[in-house]
Amino acid sequence: MTANTQTSELSYLTGFGNEHETEALAGALPIGRFSPQRVNHGLYAEQFSSTAFTAPRAANRRTWLYRIRPSVVQGDYEPCTGTGQRIQTGPLAGPTPPNMLRWDPLPLPAAGVDLLDGMTTIATCGDALAQTGIGIHLYAASESMGQRYFYSADGEWLFIPQQGELLLRTECGRLHLQPGDIAVVPRGMKFAVDLPAGPVRGYICENYGASLTLPERGPVGANGFANDRDFQYPVAAYEDIEGDFELLCKFGGHLYRAAIGHSPLDVVAWTGNSAPYKYTLSRFNVMGSVSYDHPDPSIYTVLTSPSDTAGVANLDFVIFPPRWMVAEDTFRPPWYHRNIMSEYMGLIEGVYDAKEEGFVPGGSSLHNCMSPHGPEAAVFEKASSVELVPDRYQNTLAFMLESRYLFQPTPWALDTELRQRDYIRCWDGIGKQFKS
């Protein structure tokens, strides 16, 4: 086995979507071609494509993997039982209520629960078979996956840790995550998740649609939002181990398993632009108003998955991090609104400014297409009367997953004891103030 095992020892390649190259063994990368007649060190060449071969050059994503065994060396898949029973995929059957919804966090599990067994789908939208929409999963785990491996053919996975550390072991190398970091694993990329520091909890967005990319900056110019240089990709680190292992696959909304006699993370070298990456959210260059009016949340977009309609996202990943509020004569929290886009929110740390009670770290809320939402009654009163001086929001980090498609909560999400069935009561104190 050749790989870093200590998270402190990990190094990274930088630059979003760059044509990276890395080898864990000198001479493993071919020079001047991708698939020579014989690859050095007795390796096999394998192309991993996240887009169609003929996608425009600027959007084309593929990576060449140089591995100990090609991916075809495995057993047949069979339906998987006893694992991931609460993992679901869009579209879901049944009606979707237009109610505003909110949930408490998942409790941390007892010993012996890895990421796959500790996942629960809370909502989906779109259709994975049509490669549109997303699935939103919660996870709470207490054990590493070890020699159990997984990939999703239904979409790329966006990891959003809320508690604890994750070590993602992937075909391309290793990524270390903690709260405040995110990571994206491409559709079809095999990985396992270790827990280097005990139990964990967080969120996963499974993006069925076009691969996440950086949003356009428009009039902001060249240096705002998330900067390309701050995205980190793993260096090659391979596992050359044999044994009685299990490869799990999410395909067409169903889970399958296959026996595999070796680690599938046996890539000795790779070159390309389709690979897992991580980003530290504190590096996001926040934009805001310095005059008046609370701006649209689109100015906080870190990553976006475009749809076939320009300006209308399959998915926007948006954050609300520590930031200054300085606008004059302005209602500073988000205004009351109804939106054609559907909004799912999670909280990583602290307090979200529009919801000071009930929305806690690890919790969730869902405000679907055209469902009204906005500041709770107490927040409205405070924001309407507070002296407006420059104010820095500290020790807070919330995020939003926004989509053009209607979110369908799962039966578990609607029935669970974690659902706050009195959520709508937070607006009860809003009274009539009209004076003719």
Give CATH for domain 8-97+107-281. Answer: 2.60.120.10
Residue 267 CA to residue 235 CA, distance in Å, equals 11
When the candidates are 1.20.1250.20, 2.60.120.10, 1.10.3720.10, 3.40.50.360, the CATH number that belongs to 284-425 is: 2.60.120.10
The string of DSSP codes covering 19-82 is -EEEESSTT-S-SS-SS-SS-GGG-EEEEEESS-TTS-TTT--EEEEEESS-TT-SPPPEE--S
200: left (phi over 0), alpha (psi -120 to 50) or beta: beta
CB 262 within 8 A of CB 245: yes
CB 109 within 8 A of CB 86: no
The string of DSSP codes covering 117-185 is TTEEEEEEEEEGGGTEEEEEEEEEESS--TTEEEEESS-EEEEEEEES-EEEEETTEEEEE-BTEEEEE
Q: Kindly calculate the radius of gyration of the chain based on its CA atoms and give it in whole angstroms.
A: 22
CB 186 within 8 A of CB 274: yes
Structure tokens at 140: 């709470």
Which pLDDT does position 3 carry in this prediction? 45
Residues 6+ positions from 183 with CB-CB distance below 8 Å: 158, 159, 166, 168, 175, 177, 276, 277, 278, 279
Residue 337 CA to residue 370 CA, distance in Å, equals 8
Residue 291 CA to residue 298 CA, distance in Å, equals 18
DSSP conformation class of 370: T
Domains 8-97+107-281 and 284-425 share a fold: yes
Q: Indicate the domain borders of the chain.
A: 8-97+107-281, 284-425
Structure tokens at 61: 């994503």
Q: Which residues of the chain are modeled with pLDDT < 70?
A: 1-8
CA torsion, ordered 371, 372, 375, 381, to nearest 10 deg: -160
| Helix and strand totals (H; E) in the chain | 2, 28
Q: How far is CA 208 from CA 142, 149, 313, in A?
A: 27, 20, 12
94: left (phi over 0), alpha (psi -120 to 50) or beta: left
32: left (phi over 0), alpha (psi -120 to 50) or beta: left
Specify the residue for token string 């394998």.
46
CB 363 within 8 A of CB 164: no
SS3 state of residue 380: helix
Residue 231 CA to residue 302 CA, distance in Å, equals 11
Which pLDDT does position 135 carry in this prediction? 98
Residue 150 CA to residue 160 CA, distance in Å, equals 18
CB 122 within 8 A of CB 89: no
Structure tokens at 134: 């997303």
What backbone torsions phi and psi does residue 385 show, to the nearest 5 degrees? Answer: -125, -10
SS3 state of residue 396: coil
The string of DSSP codes covering 200-266 is EEEEEEEE-SSPPBPPP-GGG-TTSBS-GGG-EEEPP-B---EEEEEEEEEETTEEEEEEEEE-S--
Which pLDDT does position 8 carry in this prediction? 63
Could you say which of 20, 176, 294, 367 is catalytic? 294
CB 89 within 8 A of CB 154: yes
Is 262 an annotated catalytic residue? no
Which pLDDT does position 364 carry in this prediction? 98
